[in-house]
């Protein structure tokens, strides 16, 4: 029994088509997986550590939870006390919007757009005040502040942890 | 954030070269089927062109003529290289059996595409940095991008006076 060149060619074509089809389905997911960083990252999510704090020029306590934030601000600002109003971790998937209600009654929206070697590209909006797109390295802090609140200033820190 | 503003945001990021490979691919697919998105992208491109024109309008005319002359010779050199490469590749493939050609080509394309998907890093905006885009409805804002330090975005009051406790001298607050 023999196989003709034509039927062999047809079988080869089917195998080739199936292979290309399988690659088309699997390659994007494979590529994404290979780029995934960090063992501490929950699969498919970007962790964002958020602190909402109140700064005051009046002498007082520095909330230990905001010690890192205060250290950063201390270089350029002269507030004497820091009170943490809210501390939260948001675990968001790419393109998922995380919302935080600020003490001012306004909402804050955070949405990771893309993650890569140079950090996470995140969209941040403080309702009525600011809209921004930030590229933040893992464990790098971004501080958004200056909103007047209770005689002092409201400050929000955001730190990716993934 | 409404869906429209989110889509617009991704489109801006695509235009600025800030999306990763997969997101760029998704955006290209969307652009292929969405005329409104194409129009928006064209508007962004036109805006960038106008800004560039304004920025380059001050350059000396003799400088630009010199650059144009050099570009012409560079383009000529680049144009001959692909043609020569294509001829070499074609002569190499001619020796293969007919049924091997599609297999080899398919494998080559698949390998190249996989390598592109896996290893291509997201394109960064030219300016780099943390703050890629900022909108405050015209309110004054101060941005302190500091290497190993935190990046600080500070909204300023529109009324004069030291209301933020800022230490840096010479900055209006």
Q: What is the 8-class DSSP label of residue A64?
A: G
**Least confident piece of the model among A97-106, B60-69, B108-117:** B60-69
Strands A107-116 and A98-101: antiparallel
Contact call for A142 and B135, based on CB within 8 A? no
pLDDT at B12: 84
* pLDDT, average across residues A118-143: 94
Query: Measured between CA atoms, how close is B168 to chain A, in angstroms?
Result: 6
pLDDT at B40: 87
Between the alpha carbon of residue B159 and those of residues A154, B140, B162, B172, B173, the distances in Å are: 18, 10, 9, 10, 8
The nearest alpha carbon in chain A to B149 belongs to A72
pLDDT at B168: 46
Strand order in the sheet with A45-56: A81-93, A45-56, A152-160, A142-149, B151-155, B141-144
Query: Measured between CA atoms, how close is B49 to chain A, in angstroms?
Result: 22
pLDDT at A87: 95
Contact call for B132 and A121, based on CB within 8 A? yes
- Please report how the helices B35-56 and B21-33 are oriented relative to each other, as an axis angle in degrees rounded to 10: 110
Contact call for B21 and A78, based on CB within 8 A? no
Residue B123 or residue B137, greater confidence:
B137
> Would the pLDDT of B170 be above 80?
no
Per the prediction, chain A carries an average pLDDT of 86
The band of B44, judged by pLDDT with boundaries at 50, 70 and 90, is confident
Chain A residues near residue B167 by CB distance under 8 angstroms: 76-78
B121 touches A: beta carbon within 8 Å: yes
Question: pTM of the entire structure?
Answer: 0.53
Where is A153: in which H helix or E strand? strand A152-160
The nearest alpha carbon in chain A to B111 belongs to A23
The band of A106, judged by pLDDT with boundaries at 50, 70 and 90, is very high
pLDDT at B56: 56
* pLDDT, average across residues A69-84: 90
Task: Report the alpha-carbon distance of residue A22 to residue A122 in Å, rounded.
Answer: 32
Give me the phi and psi of A97, to 5 degrees please.
-95, 125
Contact call for A143 and B23, based on CB within 8 A? no
Contact call for A141 and B151, based on CB within 8 A? yes
Predicted complex ipTM: 0.74
Instruction: Please check whether residue B45 is in contact with residue B12, taking contact to mean a CB–CB distance below 8 angstroms.
Output: no
The nearest alpha carbon in chain B to A155 belongs to B154
The nearest alpha carbon in chain B to A95 belongs to B6
pLDDT at A102: 95
């Amino acid at each position: 029994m023999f196989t003709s060149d034509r039927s062999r060619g047809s079988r080869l074509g089917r195998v080739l088509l199936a292979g290309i089809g399988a690659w088309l389905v699997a390659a994007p997911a494979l590529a994404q997986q290979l780029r995934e960083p960090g063992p501490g990252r929950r699969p498919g999510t970007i962790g964002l550590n958020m602190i909402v704090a109140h700064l005051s020029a009046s002498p007082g306590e520095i909330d230990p939870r905001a010690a890192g934030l205060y250290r950063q601000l201390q270089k350029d600002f002269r507030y004497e006390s820091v009170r943490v109003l809210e501390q939260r971790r948001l675990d968001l998937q790419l393109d998922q919007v995380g919302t935080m209600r600020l003490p001012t009654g306004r909402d804050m929206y955070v949405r990771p757009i893309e993650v890569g070697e140079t950090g996470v590209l995140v969209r941040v909006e403080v309702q009525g005040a600011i809209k921004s797109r930030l590229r933040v390295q893992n464990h790098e802090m971004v501080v958004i502040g200056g909103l007047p609140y209770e005689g002092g200033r409201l400050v929000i820190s955001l730190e990716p942890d993934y | 954030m409404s869906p429209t503003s989110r889509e617009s945001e991704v489109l801006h990021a695509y235009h600025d070269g800030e999306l990763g490979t997969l997101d760029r691919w998704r955006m290209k697919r969307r652009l292929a089927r969405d005329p409104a998105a194409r129009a928006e992208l064209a508007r962004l491109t036109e805006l960038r062109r106008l800004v560039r024109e304004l920025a380059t309008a001050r350059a000396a005319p003799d400088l630009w003529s010199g650059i144009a002359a050099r570009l012409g010779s560079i383009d000529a050199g680049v144009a001959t290289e692909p043609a020569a490469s294509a001829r070499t590749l074609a002569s190499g493939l001619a020796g293969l059996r007919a049924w091997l050609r599609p297999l080899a080509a398919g494998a080559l394309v698949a390998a190249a595409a996989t390598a592109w998907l896996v290893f291509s890093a997201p394109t960064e905006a030219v300016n780099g940095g943390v703050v890629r885009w900022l909108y405050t409805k015209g309110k004054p804002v101060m941005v302190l991008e500091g290497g190993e330090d935190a990046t600080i975005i500070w909204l300023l009051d529109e009324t004069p006076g030291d209301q933020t406790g800022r230490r840096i001298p010479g900055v209006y607050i």
